[in-house]
Chains A and B, each alone.
Chain A
Amino acid sequence: SSSAFPVAPETEDEDKNIQLVKTYLQNFYKLETDKQSRFKSKNIKPLTEKLKEMQVFFGLKVTGKPDVDTLEVMKKPRCGVPDIGQ
C-alpha cells in the first residue's frame, strides 16, 4: 500500500482544478507550458494574467482566480480553436 499520505479530497480537487486551468489556458490563451517558459525571457504573462484574459473574453467577473463561474465555463464542451491569436 502506498506510503504517501492520502491526499485530502479537497486538495485533490484543488490540484485537479489547477491542472484544468493550466491546460485550458495553454490550449486557448497561449499560456506557455513550464518547458516553454523555462527557455524564454521571464516577462511572460503569468497564469493570473491569462486567466483574467479568459474571464474578460467570457464576460465573467475578472478576478484572476479560478472561481466557480470560471471553472464552470472551462468545463463546457467547446471548439478547439484558441480564443486569441491564430
Chain B
Amino acid sequence: YVLTDGNPKWERKNLTYRIVNYTPDMNSADVDKAIQKAFKVWSDVSPLIFKIIYDGNADIMISFETGDHRDNSPFDGPDGFLVHAFQPRNGIGGDVHFDEAEYWTKGSNGYNLFLVVAHELGHSLGLSHSTDPGALMYPTYSYTEPNEFRLPQDDINGIQTVYGHSGNPIQPTGPTTPVTCDHKLTFDAVATMRGELLFFKDRYFWRKHPQMTEVQLNFISLFWPNLPSGIQAAYENTERDQIFLFKENKYWVLSGYDLVYNHPKSIYDLGFPKNVKRINAAFNDENSGKTYFFVGGKYWRYDENRQSMDQGYPKKIIDEFRGISKNIDAAFQYGRYIYFFIGTRQFQFDPNVKRVVSVMKSNSWFNC
C-alpha cells in the first residue's frame, strides 16, 4: 500500500458524505446501495464512521461529471480513466468525481459502481495507489463479484496505518495476493488449455506457455467475469476444445474465453452419487478419452465418448496411482506423464510404469 504524499488524513473519525447527483445508468436506489456498501468496506476495518447528508457541504461530495468539470482534471470520455478523488482536506478534499461518459452498473458489465467507489474512497481517506495487483487500491479496474468481495489485507494494512484499528474485538483480515515464486505456493486446480497451462488459486490464475519463460498472473474475472473464485478442479477435453471447471457440486464449461452455458451444471449429471459434495482434482487422458475425478482417497473414471461414468467405480487412488496419497489438490496430463499436486509438492507419475518418477515443487513450472 502507499500513503498519499504528506500523509494527509481526516482528524475527525465521524465524516459525512453526500451524493450530489445520480447517473442515469442505474436506478438511484442501486446507486445509494453501492455507495453505502463501499463506505462499509472501510468503516469495517477502521474507527471511521460515515453518515450521509442530503444537502449542504459534506466532507466527501460524490458526483457524476462530464469532460472538463472545472477541477483542472477534465475527463476523457468512455474508458481511459473512469473517475478521480481528492485527498483529505477541506473544500474539494475527499470529493469523488465519476466520469458520466462511462457505463455504470451493479453487475459485471460496464464498470461496477460499488468497486470503483470503494477504490476512490481509499483516496478520499488518504491512500494512494498500491503496487499490489490484488489490492483494491491498484490503479487498474478489475471486476470482482460484489457479494464475493473482501477488502484485501494490503488495503486493510494501509487504512489502519493512517487511522488505527476498528473497535471490533475480532480484527478482520483480508485475502493476500499469491506470490508466483513463493516456495510455499499451492494450487486449487490446474488444467491445460489449448497448449497452455492454467494454474488456479483463489480469485487468480497463472497462464503459462510451456515453451515460454514468462508466467502471467491474472484475475479469473478478467477473462471470465461470471466464473466464481476458488475453482476446485479443472480439466481440458482437447477433442471438444472445452475446459471443465468445478466448484462444490457445480461445474462450468469454457470454450476458449467463452462460457458454453450461461449457468453452471450439476456434477450429479455426470453420474456422481449425491454423497459427493465436491471434487478435489480431475484430468483427462487424451489417449483413452477417459476423465479421472479424484474425491478424497477415491477416484471415478468417466467415459467422454459415452458421456457416462464407467462401471465399478469409485476405486482407491492408491490402487491405481501408487505413491499418490489422498486429498489431491490438482492434476493434469502433459505428454506421457500425469502431474499430481499435493500441497507444495508436485508428483510426476508415469502411467506406463505405474509409479511416481519425480517429485518437484508445485510451482516448478514457473521457472523461479
Contact = CB atoms under 8 A, between A and B. Distances in A.
Interface of A: 27-28, 57-59, 73, 76-81, 83-86
A77 B129 contact: no
Contacts of A59: 131, 133
Given A27-B81, A59-B131, A59-B133, A79 B139 contact: yes
B81 to A, nearest CB: 4
A76 B141 contact: yes
Interface in B204-242: none
Interface residues on B, range: 20 to 34
B155 to A, nearest CB: 14
Contacts of A85: 5
A77 B123 contact: no
Given A28-B139, A76-B141, A81 B79 contact: no
Given A27-B81, A59-B131, A80 B5 contact: no
8 contacts: A27-B81, A76-B140, A78-B82, A79-B83, A80-B73, A80-B84, A80-B99, A81-B128
- Tell me if A's interface is mostly helix, strand, loop or mixed: loop
Residue with the greatest number of chain B CB neighbours at <10 A, chosen from A59, A81, A84, A85: A81
B159 to A, nearest CB: 16
Residue with the greatest number of chain A CB neighbours at <10 A, chosen from B80, B123, B141: B80
Given A81-B84, A86-B5, 15 more contacts: A57-B129, A58-B131, A73-B140, A78-B139, A79-B82, A79-B84, A79-B120, A79-B123, A79-B129, A79-B139, A79-B140, A79-B141, A80-B73, A80-B81, A86-B4
A76 B141 CA distance: 7
A27 B87 CA distance: 17
A77 B76 CA distance: 11
A77 B73 CA distance: 16
Contacts of A81: 84-85, 123, 128-129, 139
Residue with the greatest number of chain A CB neighbours at <10 A, chosen from B73, B85, B120, B139: B139
B165 interface: no
A85 B128 CA distance: 8
B152 to A, nearest CB: 16
Residue with the greatest number of chain B CB neighbours at <10 A, chosen from A57, A77, A79, A85: A79
B131 A77 contact: no
A80 B87 CA distance: 13
- Tell me if B's interface is mostly helix, strand, loop or mixed: loop
Interface of B: 4-6, 73, 75, 79-85, 87, 99, 111, 116, 119-120, 123, 128-129, 131, 133, 139-141
A28 B326 CA distance: 50
Contacts of B140: 73, 76-79
A83 B99 CA distance: 19
Contacts of B5: 85-86
Contacts of A83: 128-129, 139
**The 7 nearest A-B residue pairs measured at CB:** A80-B84, A80-B81, A76-B140, A78-B140, A77-B141, A78-B139, A83-B129
Contact of A77 (B4, B80, B84, B87): B80
B154 to A, nearest CB: 14
A78 B141 contact: yes
A85 B4 CA distance: 7
B139 A77 contact: no
A68 B316 CA distance: 49
Contacts of A27: 81
A84 B139 CA distance: 11
Nearest to A27: B81
A85 B6 CA distance: 9
Contacts of B133: 59
Contacts of A78: 80-82, 139-141
Contacts of A84: 128
A43 B312 CA distance: 77
Contacts of B99: 80
Residue with the greatest number of chain B CB neighbours at <10 A, chosen from A58, A59, A80, A85: A80
